[in-house]
Structure formats: structure tokens, C-alpha cells
Amino acid sequence: MSVRLFQRFISSIKQNLPKHAKLVKTGPLKLQIETMSVATKEIENDDHLVDKQRTRFQQRQRKRQWEFNENKKGNSECEAKKLCDQPFERIKRKKMAMLLGYCGVDYFGMQRNPGVKTIEEDLLQALLGAKYITEEDFVNQQNAQFQRSSRTDKGVSAARQVVSVKLPLEVNVDEINKRLPECIRVFGIKRVTNKFNSKSKCNARTYSYTLPTYVFEKAVCTDEERKVYRISAEKQNLVNQLLGHYKGTKSYHNFTEKKHHQDPSASRYMMSFTMKKIFIESEVEFAELLVKGQSFMLHQIRKMVGLVIVIARGQADQGMIDKAFGKEKVMIPTAPGLGLMLDKVHYERYDTRYKDSHESLTWEDLDDTIEKFKMEHIHPNVVKGEIEGRNMALWLEKIEKHSFDPNDYVMEDKDDNIQDDDDDEKVDADIENDEDEREIDIDKNNAERNVCDTDIKNGEQVEDIKGNNIDGVVKHNNGNTDSTDVISVSEDKKENTCV
């Protein structure tokens, strides 16, 4: 037992005694230990340096803060305690939905455009004059989260346009209207959710197109015959049958500009398209066509109406509608934009979801006021343009020799009376592509030789292209486009832009 105790005592002493590295570790192991110790010292020095730099930075920051506070004390009181030179009142603003109507005959569209007369410019001026928006909001309307439900182009009117914008809780519609011209009226304002967007929350739009009924009869030529013409029930059924072909989801690549048949953005959903009512004004019979769709593209409605007119007059067979929805390129005539009007914007899904917390956006209580505005400011301009300006009669003369074949393109004279229709974004994709588009300027002196000079934007190379090898949209010098000013195009030249 004594031997075991002695051994335990010796082992405990060995464990407690300090070990000398130089004595027990030699050779490569000793070199490794010394290297690790040097590296450890360098890391400690780096950490010390970082801590030292951080300390110096904190000291400089404290010094600047101290100097800043001294300067404020030297200039009397703190700025936070200084009285403002001008009285300042903080106005609490909330998201609102504004319903308005306008006659767009003398305007260059709804969207704000510097240097030209637009609906948004007059509306924002009125809101600024009523002190419902600030100067910063007027300069940059996105500060007030301004958004239109549908973008209408030159000459197109609207009976129920909806705009979302942040406004004070107490808003007087009369204060806005007295600062607006007679052709623009705000009908009502309602509180909506904070994330409400008048464009993205819209699930459908309804447009109306007013035109004289004689356009469907080719035998009517003189002004006297046009006044006494009345559409027959058979012709009316034919027109409704043709309009019914547009119902459903189809590719409308031939009903707009610069779209390929495989372009997904050309697919649109039409819910209905019918001849709603017939009325007589100034001895001329007019018809109102109503189309309801999820969204529309540039010139789409005007081309849809133009194709129906041509088929009803017997200038093309009904198979042309099916051909227009096919893969081939078809030159469809574009009807004038004078009779086009945004009639209603639908928010059924929004109303269903927030029916318990927010007001409905159907605006049914304002129908009488809106109809009165339409009859006083919109319809008279349409009738005047058709009777005095012979807007549709001149267009019918142009399409007498219209060809649907892209290779038989014929240059027509520029008509300043032709307007542009609505240009909606597709709601499903919610895509807005602002890329620069290609502009093609055609010299009329070289039109007979089928040669045009193509001027490409963004500094690209200028090249001469034969007229029968181009696929694009011909633009006049003023930027307006017309369906007849389109030439056939190779698929590789198409630009996939969603306007």
C-alpha cells in the first residue's frame, strides 16, 4: 500500500509542476509553437490597432458634435426651439379615389406631358389652387401617389375616369371645380384603402364608341342620303354578330402596333361588345357601341370598330376576323377617335373585399349628374365633328381602296383630324415598359419608289430599307399614328414593347 501511495504522490507532483517548452519540445514542434505564438501576437496587435482607430473616430465624432452644439448655443437657441418665420400647419392626408369626367377634344390626352395641354395638368393646377396638394406634389405628382385608372390619348373623352391621390380628409368638390374649365368636372371623392391604386385595382373598363349608322351601308354616298338613312334590323343583327366575334381571350397583335402573334402582352380578354342604343341627332342617326374588356392596347378599339365597318359594308368577308386573330400580318383600318369615350371603370373585386370598411366605387348616386355632363359637353362635340367636320365620311373615302395585304401598302395623306384612342396597360401582368421606341419617318417624295429612310434612336446606325422588307409602324412628323400608315414587317425587326 505504501508503494501505491508513493506513486500517486509522485504523479500529482508531476502534474502540478510547470512544464518548460524548451526542455520537453524540440525540433519541428518547437518551431511550430513559436510561429503560432508570433501569429497570435500579430492578431492581438491588429485588434489593438482597430480598437485604437475606433476610439479615435469616436473622439472626432464627439468633438464635431460638441462644436455643433456650441455653434447652436452661440447662435442663441436651438433650431428646434426657434419660431418658424411663416405659419406652418401640418395637414393629414389620406388616399382618395376621385371620379371625374372630361371632353378631350381640345386636349393632348390625359397623361401629363410638358409643353402641351393635358387633363392632368389642369387637374393638378386646380388641386394646387385649392391647397389640397403642395408645390412639391405639383412638380412631382408621385409624391402624392397620383395614379390614373386609364390613360386616354389625344381627343378621347371620359365620362367616369378614376384617379387615386392623397388628399386632406376634408375636401370640397366645388372648390376644385371652380378652378377647372367647363369641359372638366370632378363628380365625387371617396376614401379608399392606403394601398389602393386606381390602375392595378381596376378589373375591367368599358368604352363607348359613337358613330353614324350610315357607315355600315356602302350604297349611302351623298349627304342627303346619309341624313335620311335608318339602319335596318337585319343590318343591326349583322353588326352585333360581327361584334360578338371579339368576346373571349384572343391575340390582338393585328389590332395594335409593333406586336408579334406570339407576344403574350397581345392577349386580351373581352367580356362583351354590342350595339347598345340608337338615337337621332340633327337629322342624322347615330349608334353607340359598348365594349367591356379587362384592358386595351393602343388603337385596339378603333381597329376593332374599323374591321366591323369594312365587313358590314361588304369590302371584306367575315373570314377576315378569323384571319386577323391568326399568325399572319393583316393591315386593319383604324376608325377615327372622335367618338371614343371611357364610359366606366369597374372595381367589383375591390368593392367585394372592402364592402364592410369602405364605400363602394360604383358611384351609382352620381349617374344623373354624369349623364347630364355627357349630353352637355361630350356628345355635342361628337355630333358637331360628324356633321360639320364630316369626320367619318372623309374616313370612308380613304378606306375605299384599303388593302389588308401588307405588301399592297399605299401611302395616304396625313390627316390631322384623326385622333388617338386609349392606351391602357395590361392589368394582369401590370407591366409598364418605358423603353424608347423606334421611329420611322417616311419621305413622301420617295413613297412611290417604296424606299424609306429609317432613323433609329439611341445612336444606332442609319440604314436604307426597302418598303416591302420593313415591319414597323410609320409615324408622321407630329407623332400621331394611323392604321393605314403601317407597312409589312419581318418578325426579327419587331419590338416587344407594351404601350
Catalytic amino acids? 153
Binding site, by residue number, is 207
Nearby residues of 47 by Cβ (< 8 Å), 6 or more positions away: none
Q: Comparing C-alpha atoms, which of 432, 429, 455 is closest to residue 442?
A: 455
Sign, CA dihedral 316-314-303-161, equals: negative
The amino acid sitting at 109 is G
Whether 338 contacts 391, CB under 8 Å: yes
Cα separation of 384 and 89, whole Å? 49
The amino acid sitting at 246 is Y
By three-state DSSP, how is residue 119 classified? helix
Cα separation of 363 and 369, whole Å? 11
Binding site for substrate, by residue number, is 207
Cα separation of 97 and 370, whole Å? 16
Whether 260 contacts 498, CB under 8 Å: no
Pairing between β-strand 93-102 and β-strand 157-168 as defined by DSSP bridges: antiparallel
Angle at 149 between CA 140 and CA 188, to 5 degrees: 90
Whether 220 contacts 229, CB under 8 Å: yes
